[in-house]
Amino acid sequence: MNYQNPNSDTYCGYVALIGRPNVGKSTLLNCILQHKLSITSAKQQTTRSCIRGVKTDGVYQTIYVDTPGVQKHIKKPLNRYMNRQAMSVLLEVNIVVWILDRCRWTADDENWCHYLKQIGLPIILAVNKTDRLPDRGILLPHFDWLQKQINCVAIIPISAKTSYQVDKLELEVRKYLPSGIHLFQKNQRTDRSSIFLASELIREAMIEYLHQELPYVSRVQVEKFYWTSKTKDKKKLLMIHALIWVENNRQKQIVIGKGGQQLKIIGSQARQSLQHQFKSLVCLKLWVKVNPGWSSNPDILRQLA
Ligand SMILES: Nc1nc2c(ncn2[C@@H]2O[C@H](COP(=O)(O)OP(=O)(O)O)[C@@H](O)[C@H]2O)c(=O)[nH]1
Ligand SMILES: [Mg+2]
C-alpha cells in the first residue's frame, strides 16, 4: 500500500476527510492548514460541497478534501447532491482519513465502515475530540475493537480543536502520498475562489444566527467582489454585494427580521469573518430574494459544486 518511490523528488496526493456529520472534518482541515478555509458549526449539514485545502511542506504536497456529511433524509434533492459529493470523492483520492467522535459508534459509522471495506485505499482512523475525554485510557480497548471492524494502516487519537497529535496524523498521511509533481503553487491553500470563500462565510453567519432549517434552504450568491481605495484615509476597502436566496416570503421575513434587525446581525458577523479572511476592511451589502424551489433545481445544484 506504500506508493513512495525512494528515487522520486516530490510527492503529491489527495486525501479524503470523511465521517458522519459533526465529527470535526472541517475543524480538522482548518487546523491542518492553520487557516479558516472550511466553515464549521455545532449544527449539522454545514459543509455543502467538497472543499480542497492544500498543504505544501518541502517535497510533500497533500491535498485534503473536506466532504459534506452524508445526509439521512436523502429524499431531498439537495441532500442527495451532498451525498453524491461525499461518496464520489473516494474515486479521486489516494488516502482516506476516517474521522470518528471519541468512542461513539453509530449506524452512520457502521455504514461508512461497510462502504470503506470495499474501496481498497489506505485508511487512517482519526479518533477526534479526545480533549473532551476525562480519561484517554479508555481509548486503548476501543482501538482493539476498531481494528477488528476495519483494516486500517493506523489509528491516531487527535483533537482538531487543540491540535493534539494533528502533526502526527499529517506525518502518517505523508507515508502514503504517491510520487508526483506538485499540482498547486507552494503558497496556494485552496482551489476555491475568493468569491466562494466569501459566500461560505456569509452562510456560516446565517447558520449561527438563524434557527432550525432556514440556513439549509438558503443559498448565498456573491454578485460583486472588488477592492477600492475610497475610504477617507485611502485604505483598501473590499466591497462585497451578495444575495441570499430563500424559497418563500415567510423565510425572507425571518432572515430580514423585525425592522431588518436579523439581517443586520448576520451582516455584522459575516463582515468580521470576511475582514479576518481577506485581511482588509470590508463593506458588505446583503439582499434577501425569493426563488421558489431552488433546492430542487438541478441547474442551481450544479452551481454549488
Ligand atoms: N471539543 C472538541 N470539539 C470539536 C473538535 N473538533 C470539532 N469540534 C466541534 O464539533 C462541531 C462540528 O465540527 P465540524 O468541523 O463542523 O464537523 P463536520 O460536520 O464533521 O465538518 C463544531 O462545534 C466544532 O467546534 C475537537 O477536537 N474537540
Ligand atoms: Mg464540515
CA of residue 28 to ligand 2 center, whole Å: 9
Share above pLDDT 70 across residues of the chain, in percent, rounded to a whole number: 86
Q: What pLDDT is attached to residue 72?
A: 59
pLDDT of 124 > 90? The answer is: yes
**Of all atoms in ligand 1, which is nearest to the CA of residue 19?**
20
Task: Using the mean position of ligand 2's atoms as its centre, give its distance from the Cα of residue 242 in Å.
Answer: 22
For residue 82, what pLDDT is reported? 60
Give the residue extent of every domain in the chain. 11-174, 194-304
**Chain centre distance of CA 163:** 17
- Which carries the bigger pLDDT value, residue 215 or residue 22? 22
| Topology (CATH) of 194-304 | GMP Synthetase; Chain A, domain 3 (3.30.300)
Rg (CA), the chain: 21
Q: pLDDT, tens digit, for every residue of 146-160? A: 999 999 999 999 999
Spatial separation of the C-alpha atoms in residues 121 and 173, rounded to whole Å: 12
Q: Which atom of ligand 1 is nearest to the CA of 66?
A: 21
- Edge to edge, the sheet with strand 123-128 lists 51-57, 60-66, 11-18, 95-101, 123-128, 154-157
Q: Tell which atom from ligand 1 comes closest to the C-alpha of 39.
A: 16
pLDDT of residue 271: 97
Average per-residue pLDDT in the chain? 87
List pLDDT tens digits, range 200-253: 999 999 988 887 667 677 889 999 999 987 667 777 899 999 999 998 999 999
Going by C-alpha positions, the residue among 12, 13, 6, 4 that lies closest to residue 95 is 13
Residue ranges lining ligand 1, Cβ < 6 Å: 19, 21-27, 40-42, 46-47, 69, 128-129, 131-132, 159-161
Element (H, E) at 134: none
Selection from 65, 50, 150 nearest residue 105 by Cα: 150
The CA-based angle 130-135-137, given to 5 degrees, is: 95
State the ligand closest to the CA atom of 162. 1
Architecture category of domain 11-174 in CATH: 3-Layer(aba) Sandwich (3.40)
- Per-residue pLDDT, 212: 65
This prediction has a pTM of 0.84
Q: Is the pLDDT of residue 305 over 60?
A: no
